[in-house]
A and B are shown apart, each in its own frame.
Chain A
Amino acid sequence: MSVIPDISVNVCGKYFKNPVIAASGAYGFGEDYTDLYPLSELGGISCKGTTIAAKDGNIPPRIAETPSGILNSVGLQNPGIDKFINYYLPRLKKQDTVVIANIAGATIEDYAEVAARLDSTDVDMIELNISCPNVKQGGATWGVTCSGAASVTKAVRNATKKPVIVKLTPNVTDITEIAKAVEAEGADSVSLINTLLGMRIDIRTRRPILHNNVGGLSGPAVFPVAVRMVWQVSNAVKIPVIGMGGIASAEDAIEMMMAGASAVQMGTAIFGDPYAPIKVCEGMKKFLQENKIEKISDIVGTVKPW
Chain B
Amino acid sequence: MSFYCSSYPIVEKKALAGGIYSFTIKCPEVAQAACVGQFVQIKAEGYTLRRPISICSIDKENGTIRLVFEARGKGTDKISELNKGDLMDVIAPLGNGFTVPAKKDGRVIVVGGGIGTPPLLDIANMYGENCTAILGFRSFDKVILDKDYALSGAKVIVCTDDGSTGVGGTIAQPLADELAKGGVAAVYACGPTPMLKAVVAAAKEAGVYSEVSLEQRMGCGVGACVVCACTVVRDGKEQVLRVCKDGPVFSGEEVVL
Binding site for B on A (CB under 8 A): 25-28, 31-33, 35-36, 48, 56-66, 68-70, 72, 74, 77, 219-220, 268, 270-275
Is the beta-carbon distance between A77 and B240 smaller than 8 angstroms?
yes
CA separation between A220 and B46, bound complex, in Å? 12
Residues of chain B within 8 A (CB-CB) of A63 are 49, 217-219, 225, 227-228
The count of A-to-B residue pairs whose CB atoms sit within 8 angstroms is 94
Residues of chain A within 8 A (CB-CB) of B3 are 35-36
Q: Can you name the residue of chain A whose Cβ is closest to the Cβ of B43?
A: A272
Residues of chain B within 8 A (CB-CB) of A273 are 43
Is the beta-carbon distance between A77 and B226 smaller than 8 angstroms?
yes
Residues of chain B within 8 A (CB-CB) of A65 are 47-49, 75
Is the beta-carbon distance between B228 and A60 smaller than 8 angstroms?
yes
Asked, given contacts A28-B224, A74-B225, A77-B229, whether A35 binds B218 with beta carbons under 8 Å apart, the answer is no
CA separation between A210 and B222, bound complex, in Å? 21
Residues of chain B within 8 A (CB-CB) of A36 are 3-5
Please report which residues of chain B, range 72-100, place their CB below 8 angstroms from some CB of chain A when the two chains form the complex: 75, 91
Is the beta-carbon distance between A271 and B5 smaller than 8 angstroms?
no
B43 → A minimal CB distance (Å): 7
* Chain A CB within 8 A of B216 CB: yes
Could you mark each residue 1-21 of chain B with 1 if its beta carbon is under 8 Å from any beta carbon of chain A, else 0?
011110000000000000000
* Chain A CB within 8 A of B60 CB: no
* Chain A CB within 8 A of B230 CB: yes
CA separation between A26 and B49, bound complex, in Å? 13
Mind listing 20 A-B residue pairs with CB under 8 Å? Answer: A25-B226, A32-B223, A32-B224, A35-B2, A35-B3, A35-B4, A48-B226, A56-B240, A57-B240, A60-B217, A60-B227, A60-B228, A60-B229, A61-B216, A65-B47, A65-B49, A68-B48, A72-B227, A220-B48, A271-B48
Q: Can you name the residue of chain A whose Cβ is closest to the Cβ of B3?
A: A35
* Chain A CB within 8 A of B50 CB: yes
Residues of chain A within 8 A (CB-CB) of B225 are 25-26, 28, 63, 72, 74, 271
Is the beta-carbon distance between B226 and A70 smaller than 8 angstroms?
no
Please report which residues of chain B, range 196-236, place their CB below 8 angstroms from some CB of chain A when the two chains form the complex: 216-230
Is the beta-carbon distance between B224 and A33 smaller than 8 angstroms?
yes
CA separation between A219 and B240, bound complex, in Å? 26
* Chain A CB within 8 A of B245 CB: yes
CA separation between A25 and B226, bound complex, in Å? 8
Is the beta-carbon distance between B224 and A26 smaller than 8 angstroms?
yes
Is the beta-carbon distance between A62 and B43 smaller than 8 angstroms?
no
Residues of chain B within 8 A (CB-CB) of A72 are 219, 225, 227
Q: Can you name the residue of chain B whose Cβ is closest to the Cβ of A65?
A: B49
CA separation between A69 and B219, bound complex, in Å? 11
Task: Name the one of B75, B217, B226, B230 contacting A64, with C-beta atoms under 8 angstroms.
Answer: B217
